[in-house]
Amino acid sequence: MSQHVDVDKIWISLGKWGSYQRRQLIVLLVAIWSCGFHMLSIVFIAYRPSFLCKAVDINESVVRGSNDTDYTRSYGKCSVTYMSNISGEASVEKSDCADGWYYYEDRLDLVCSRKELAELSQTLVMIGQGIGPFVFTSLADKYGRKPVHVLCHVALFIIVLCTAFVPNYPSFAAMRMLLGAVQEGTGLSLAILNLERFPKEICAYVGVFGLLFWTTGIAIVTPIAYIFRNMSWRYFQLCLACLSSWSLIEWWHTISYLLEHL
């Protein structure tokens, strides 16, 4: 067989928009949403709600001491103020929220001196997105676009699901970095898959469809976050995971196909 095959002629002879191509295009375009959902999700996960320094009783104000001594504790957002009055002499001291914070919602303590950690978690996503292309594009060239795409898409679902149950920030940050890597593996492999399934004369239209789904995937996160605005961020994260759960169907279909043709 000749090493130089004009694939475009094969696609044209089979039909530019055959039923197989249309089905595969829809499947891969919807997968772009799964990647776009997480680009700006940190805006809603790490937003700062109403909070106060944690105490046994946040309404506590005055504690009576001996010898006509009054100790007043005032709990603010980022500090606790201690005011004492000893025999007519007043003094004021401040300290950090040593016992953490009290929230009206479940949060990751990304406030006060820790507020920069929210931006750091997004930076880690970008670092993961820089690592992902080096790893997964090479694997896609060696083992094929479809296996790498399905593997990364399933990994994306698992990582997003696990993120909803992380107990602390370090594990959350690790998940965000892994998310960025598999996000790129999913997106880059499906972009090439889309272009390789159509003749070059209509590849530009396929690329436009991909960009359209990417931008709408980013925008759709806003109404989803609005629905979960009065709930813990973990429920919002679980919803994003569920929107990628159909990747398991892709996995099952691919494994079944491979087993049939081995």
Q: Are 234 and 164 in contact (CB under 8 A)?
A: yes
Which CA distances in Å does 204 have to 45, 125, 168, 209?
Answer: 35, 29, 44, 9
Question: How high is the mean pLDDT of the chain?
Answer: 77
pTM for this model (two decimals): 0.74
SS3 for 145? Answer: helix
Instruction: Average the pLDDT over each of 73-82, 129-138, 202-211 and give the range with the smallest value.
Output: 73-82
| 60 band by pLDDT with thresholds 50, 70 and 90 | very low
**H-type alpha helices, the chain:** 7-14, 19-36, 42-45, 116-143, 145-163, 169-196, 203-227, 233-242, 247-261
d(CA 162, CA 177): 13
Note the pLDDT of residue 1. Answer: 46
pLDDT mean over 190-218 = 83
Neighbouring C-beta atoms of residue 68, cutoff 10 Å: 10
Written as one letter, the residue type at 158 is I
Note the pLDDT of residue 64. Answer: 43
| 32 band by pLDDT with thresholds 50, 70 and 90 | confident
| 258 band by pLDDT with thresholds 50, 70 and 90 | low
Instruction: Average the pLDDT over each of 115-119, 183-187, 215-219, 236-240 and give the range with the smallest value.
Output: 115-119
